[in-house]
Amino acid sequence: MEYYTWILTFHVVAVMSWMAMLFYLPRLFVYHVENIDKKEFIEVVKIQEYKIYKYIGAPAMWATIASGITMIILNPILLDININPWMYAKLISLILLIIYSFSLEKYRKELEKDICKKTGKFFRMYNEMPTMLAILIVGYVITKSFSLLFTSIIILLFAYISYVIMKPKKEI
Annotated binding site: 11, 90
Q: What is the DSSP string of the chain?
A: -TTHHHHHHHHHHHHHHHHHHHHHHHHHHHHHHHTTT-HHHHHHHHHHHHHIIIIIIHHHHHHHHHHHHHHHHH-GGGG-TTT-HHHHHHHHHHHHHHHHHHHHHHHHHHHHTT-----HHHHHHHTTHHHHHHHHHHHHHHHTS--HHHHHHHHHHHHHHHHHHHSPPPP-
From the annotation, which residues make up the binding site for heme?
A: 11, 90
